[in-house]
Structures are given as structure tokens and as C-alpha cells.
């Protein structure tokens, strides 16, 4: 548009002719515009012209919120990658490459029906590995849910809480029990430093190279060893106590005097009653062998001698004194 000047001293006619000349020559006649332009004013026509120019020499970009931006001739489209999220590379000729870096960082979440990382596949709540094994390295694995598996193998299994159950075997502190019966069955050899009954009255362990049975029951304590050849060994100051046919406080105790040498008492192969120094009228005639009693076995010895006429003793008869 040419510059037009109207002096202060110019007449109104000069102002009129100068203004009309600006409208006709500088702004142009709308009738002279291209038939492709439908706007009826200069500003609208310019906007429409830009749109037509853009469609042939440029393009429009739009984001997910429907916000649009026209990129025309001479404009620059800049694509910036965010660190650890996206990479944008411009190369010849007229090429824009958008990709992911080797290490991708996502601040919120990723949603996908299947995620594949190397041999590992995550899909629909399932983690599988084409190599057949998933390793968590030296990391801790924690869950508040339930772990189900055909077999669990590890150097140790540690759980929280006071009670744990493996099948029908319950572990509570240092106590094992069966949840479906009152007995635990062990199908193989079981070895321990010691075995105790429920209240600890009987202990089975090893002492001095012998298997030992020890009881702390009041009035009936035992401490006995079973030797390798199946002999029964009672340790020092131990006795055998028999209850008898009636359960009461009356019992028979078998004990020994402290041996000063190796002693052996043999029970004969016969049926009978043991006779002690306290027995009265217990020995019968059948229990005495012929010629078993001599003068040395009589408490008070009385002799009857038969002499011949010369005074020589022919016969001596021994008898118990009155």
C-alpha cells in the first residue's frame, strides 16, 4: 500500500480524492479477487487465502484434545523427546524418526494385555518364561496373598505370624502337630539329640556311648542304658520298683549293695518262689538234696557216739540241739 499524505492546508476536495484513490488502488476491488475466495471483506479473504495456501504448501497438526496448529511454508515443526521416555531424530531426506530409548522411564503406568521382556511374558495375571525358570536373584519376595505351587524349593522358608501349615502338618512356634489326626507319621529314620514324652517325664537319648532311658517321675524315676548287646544297664544308685497287681503306695523294690567287684546272680531255669532272709517256714523237704545238710549246717550241734567194749567210737550221729 502506497503512502498518502494530506497537508493541513489542503482542501476537503483534496482529502476526498486522495481517500477514494486509496480505497480503489491500495486495498483493491473485491470483484478482482479469485473466484475461489468467497469472503466479502479483506480480513476474511486473507484468512481464507492462508487456509488455501496451507492446504497446498503446508499441513495441520492436531493433538488428542483436538487442538490444531497450522504448519505452513517457512514454518518449523519441532518434536522434542523427553529423557528416558521418547527419542526424536530428524534425518535426510525429510525424515522424522520417533522411537524409544534403550532405558524407558514411565512415571505412571503401562496397560497392555501382554508384556514380553526377553524370555519373560506377563499376561492376564500370569508370569511365564520360555526357558522354564524365573529367578528373582538375591531379592526378597513378599506377598499378603497365597502362594500355590507344585513344589517349593529353597535353602530356608521364613513366614510371618505364629502358625504355619504345610499340607496337614501345622507348625506353631517350635510345636508340630497334625491337623487331621492326633498322630504324625514318619516313614523314614528319624534322628534327634533326645526324645521326650509330652510332659518330659521320659527322655530317650545317648549318654556315654549308650542309648539311655531317663525318667524324672516322682517315686518312679529311672535311668537305664540299653547296651549294644541288648543288656540293660542301670546307672548308679538306681533300683527296680514293681507296683504289683494293685496300684497304690506299696511297692517292691529290688536293689543291690554297692559292688566291690564284678558280681553275677543267676536265676535258674525253673518255676518257683524266690526265698530271702526274711522268709519263714519257706524251705520244704523237696527243696533239700540228699546229704545236703552236714554238721556244719546245724546251728546247735549234738552228737551221739556208739562205742565198742574197748571204748573205740564205731559211729557218730549228729543232730540239732534242742
Q: Are residues 202 and 249 in the same domain?
A: yes
On whether residue 203 sits in a domain, the answer given is yes
Give the model's pLDDT for residue 38: 67
When pLDDT is averaged across residues 169-181 and rounded to a whole number, the result is 89
In a domain, 115, yes or no: no
Q: Is 223 within the bounds of a domain?
A: yes
* Closest CA relative to residue 96, chosen from 65, 61, 67: 61
Same domain, yes or no, for 250 and 297? no
DSSP secondary structure of 9-56 = T--HHHHHHHHHHIIIIIS--GGGS-TT---SSHHHHHHHHHHHHHHH
- The mean per-residue pLDDT over the stretch 291-306 comes to 71
The answer for residues whose C-beta is within 8 angstroms of residue 1's C-beta and 6 or more apart is 22, 26, 27
In a domain, 307, yes or no: yes
Query: By the 8 A CB rule, do 39 and 48 touch?
Result: yes
Domain check: are 197 and 250 in the same one? Answer: yes
* Better pLDDT: 88 or 28: 88
Query: Is the CB of residue 38 less than 8 Å from the CB of residue 52?
Result: no
Total number of domains in the chain: 3
Helix/strand number for the chain, H first, E second: 2, 19
Domain that holds residue 316: 293-320
Which of these three, 28, 51, 71, is where a domain ends?
71
Residues 246 and 299 in one domain: no
The rounded percent of the chain whose pLDDT value lies above 90 is 8
Residue 137: inside a domain: no
Strand ranges in the chain using DSSP code E only, listed in sequence order: 59-62, 68-71, 87-91, 95-99, 114-117, 120-123, 126-129, 163-166, 169-172, 175-178, 194-196, 202-207, 210-215, 223-226, 232-234, 240-242, 252-254, 301-307, 313-320
Phi-psi region of 173 (alpha: psi -120 to 50; beta: other; left: phi over 0): left
Mean pLDDT, residues 77-99 taken together? 83
Cβ atoms of residues 211 and 201 within 8 Å: no
Q: Given pLDDT bands bounded at 50, 70 and 90, which one contains residue 2? A: low
> Hunting for cell 537305664 — which residue is that?
224
The answer to whether position 4 is within a domain reads no
103 in helix, strand or coil?
coil
Task: In whole angstroms, give the CA distance from residue 91 to residue 36.
Answer: 37
Residue 316's nearest CA partner among 297, 301, 306 is: 306
Specify if 303 maps to a domain.
yes
Give the C-alpha separation, 167 to 178, whole Å. Answer: 9
| Closest C-alpha among 283, 319, 279 to residue 298 | 319
Check residue 264 and give its pLDDT: 93
What pLDDT, in 10s, does the model give residues 39-64?
666 667 677 666 666 566 667 788 88
Q: Among 256, 282, 303, which residue terminates a domain?
A: 256
Say if residue 285's pLDDT is above 60: yes
Are 304 and 319 in contact by the 8 Å Cβ rule? The answer is yes
Q: What phi, psi does 175 have (nearest 5°)?
A: -115, 130
Give 106-133 pLDDT, tens digit per residue.
888 888 889 888 899 999 888 999 988 8
Sign, CA dihedral 144-148-154-160, equals: positive
Instruction: Give the mean pLDDT of the chain.
Output: 79
pLDDT at 188 > cutoff 90: yes
Contact 320, 298 (CB under 8 A): yes
Provide the grid cell at 1. Answer: 500500500
Q: Is 309's pLDDT higher than 90?
A: no
Nearest in space to 275 (alpha carbons), one of 263, 264, 262, 288: 288
The rounded percent of the chain whose pLDDT value lies above 70 is 79
Looking at residue 12, its pLDDT comes to 82
Top-confidence residue, 213 or 29? 213
Pick 3 or 237 by higher pLDDT: 237
Q: Is the dihedral of CA 238, 244, 247, 252 positive or negative?
A: negative
- Of 76-80, 148-152, 156-160, where does mean pLDDT reach its minimum? 156-160
The pTM score is 0.37
Using DSSP's 3-state secondary structure scheme, residue 287 falls into helix
17 in a structural domain: yes
Amino acid at each position: 500500500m502506497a503512502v498518502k499524505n494530506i497537508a493541513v492546508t489542503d482542501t476537503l476536495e483534496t482529502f476526498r480524492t486522495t481517500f477514494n484513490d486509496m480505497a480503489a488502488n491500495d486495498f483493491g476491488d473485491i470483484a478482482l479477487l479469485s473466484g475461489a475466495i468467497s469472503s466479502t471483506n479483506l480480513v476474511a479473504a486473507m484468512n481464507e487465502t492462508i487456509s488455501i495456501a496451507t492446504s497446498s504448501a503446508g499441513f495441520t497438526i492436531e493433538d488428542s484434545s483436538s487442538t490444531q496448529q497450522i504448519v505452513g511454508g517457512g514454518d518449523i515443526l519441532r518434536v522434542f523427546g523427553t529423557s528416558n521416555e521418547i527419542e526424536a531424530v530428524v534425518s535426510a531426506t525429510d525424515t522424522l524418526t520417533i522411537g524409544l530409548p534403550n532405558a524407558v522411564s514411565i512415571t505412571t503406568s503401562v496397560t497392555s494385555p501382554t508384556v514380553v521382556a526377553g524370555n519373560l511374558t506377563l499376561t492376564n495375571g500370569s508370569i511365564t518364561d520360555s526357558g522354564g525358570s524365573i529367578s528373582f536373584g538375591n531379592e526378597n519376595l513378599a506377598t499378603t496373598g497365597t502362594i500355590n505351587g507344585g513344589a517349593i524349593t529353597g535353602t530356608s522358608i521364613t513366614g510371618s505370624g505364629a502358625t504355619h501349615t504345610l499340607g496337614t502338618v501345622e507348625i506353631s512356634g517350635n510345636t508340630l502337630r497334625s491337623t487331621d489326626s492326633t498322630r504324625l507319621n514318619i516313614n523314614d529314620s528319624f534322628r534327634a539329640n533326645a526324645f521326650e514324652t509330652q510332659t518330659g517325664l521320659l527322655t530317650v537319648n545317648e549318654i556315654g556311648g549308650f542309648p539311655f532311658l531317663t525318667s524324672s517321675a516322682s517315686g518312679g524315676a529311672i535311668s537305664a542304658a540299653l547296651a549294644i548287646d541288648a543288656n540293660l544297664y542301670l546307672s548308679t544308685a538306681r533300683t527296680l520298683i514293681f507296683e504289683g497287681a494293685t496300684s497304690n503306695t506299696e511297692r517292691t523294690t529290688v536293689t543291690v549293695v554297692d559292688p566291690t567287684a564284678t558280681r553275677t546272680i543267676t536265676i535258674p531255669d525253673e518255676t518257683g518262689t524266690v526265698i530271702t532272709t526274711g522268709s519263714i517256714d519257706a524251705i520244704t523237704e523237696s527243696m533239700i538234696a540228699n546229704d545236703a545238710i552236714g554238721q556244719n549246717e546245724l546251728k546247735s550241734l549234738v552228737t551221739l557216739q556208739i562205742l565198742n567194749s574197748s571204748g573205740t567210737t564205731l559211729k557218730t550221729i549228729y543232730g540239732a540241739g534242742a
